[in-house]
Amino acid sequence: MNVLILAAGLGTRLRPLTSDVPKPLVPVVDASILEQQAVKANGIGNVRLHANAHYLAEQVVAEGKRLGFEKVWVEPEILGTAGPLKRIYNEGYRGGLLIMNGDAYCSFDLKAFVENAKRTFASAQDGSAPGVALLAVDFPKVNTFRVNKDGRLVGIAGRFGSEEGAAATFSGVSYYSDEALARIADGEFDIREFWKQEIAAGRPPFVDMSQMNATWIDMGSPEGLMAACRARLDELGVDSWTDERVAVTRDSIVFAGATVGEGETVENEIRGKGFSWKI
């Protein structure tokens, strides 16, 4: 199975921290999200790791090489989500494709998700078998998914389809069969348009709601980065962490290059070279 970690974003919400380092490589305590996602993906077993890159792509390429990625796909222009998926398929990679985000700290059981997706694909009636599985979380501020009683996507609030059904948020984690990847049109950028087409064709994506209460944090904002670091400290079972890149406590993050006065205590703040964010 192939795994694609989406890592091409511009990281604008974390500027100027991301002026010199792409968002997926920002340390979240002891390791970047890219590295943490790679470790989780490798835990499934027998996977080939891929990432896409655009902003400061050379850094992502170098890190992918260090982490043993099959390939980092450099995009001269951002291709949305659908573009990178079809690109991997067109290059001949087969065996299914798991998608993960390079800006989400999470505690999902990825192996269980993929196994559940495959069982659902196999058990569906001919002609209605989905080739797409979407992992959902409960995040009331963004619960735009609408899911019917059979666990199928029927709409996205404010965008298309039914407004009825159980509400959920897309976690960014998804799984595509080879057959589904073949149906993505060349030049398609917006993956939501593909889901809409699959619904219209009688193959609505399966929405896995079995991990709705798992940890899921968007670390792409200062507040999200702080929350992700706290969660990582909990995962490591420590109250603080210091290395050459960053010093983290439960209420502060100080990156290398930050100015800290003699005897000063940094609290409720993220501080780096030339910036300070109160949290």
Asked whether residue 148 is domain-assigned, the answer is no
How far out from the chain centre does Cα 252 lie?
24
pLDDT score of 169: 98
Domain of residue 187, residue span: 2-132+171-216
Tell me the residue type at 113.
F
Classify residue 163 as exposed, middle or buried by CB count within 10 Å of its CB (0-12, 13-18, 19+). exposed
Asked whether residue 253 is domain-assigned, the answer is no
Asked whether residue 190 is domain-assigned, the answer is yes
CB count in 10 Å sphere of residue 4 = 27
250 near 239, Cβ under 8 Å? yes
Give the CATH number of the domain where residue 32 resides.
3.90.550.10
Asked whether residue 164 is domain-assigned, the answer is no
Q: Residue 100, CB half-sphere, CA atoms under 13 Å: how many?
A: 31
pLDDT score of 76: 87
Number of domains in the chain: 1
DSSP assignment string, 179-200 = HHHHHSPTT---HHHHHHHHHH
List 252's β-bridge partners, or say none.
269
DSSP state of 80: T
Q: What is the pTM of this model?
A: 0.96
Alpha-carbon distance values, 271 to 18, 122, 249 (Å): 13, 50, 12
Q: Kindly state the helix (H) or strand (E) to which residue 178 belongs, with its residue range.
A: helix 178-183
Mean pLDDT, 10 residues at a time, over the chain (279 residues)?
96 96 98 97 97 97 98 89 95 98 96 97 84 97 96 96 96 97 94 97 97 96 98 98 97 96 94 95
Q: Which are the contacts of 101, defined by CB distance < 8 A and separation ≥ 6?
A: 5, 6, 37, 172, 173
Asked whether residue 273 is domain-assigned, the answer is no
9 near 105, Cβ under 8 Å? no
**ω into 16 cis (within 30 of 0):** yes
Q: Each residue of 95-126: pLDDT tens digit?
A: 999 999 999 999 999 999 999 999 999 987 77
Asked whether residue 77 is domain-assigned, the answer is yes
pLDDT score of 127: 77
pLDDT score of 111: 98
Asked whether residue 195 is domain-assigned, the answer is yes
DSSP assignment string, 107-175 = ---HHHHHHHHHHHHHHSPTTT--SEEEEEE--GGG--EEE-TTSBEEEETTTEE-S-SEEEEEEEEEE
pLDDT score of 77: 85
Asked whether residue 86 is domain-assigned, the answer is yes
Q: Each residue of 164-198: pLDDT tens digit?
A: 999 999 999 999 999 999 999 999 999 999 999 99
pLDDT score of 176: 98
Q: 3-state class of 231 per DSSP?
A: helix
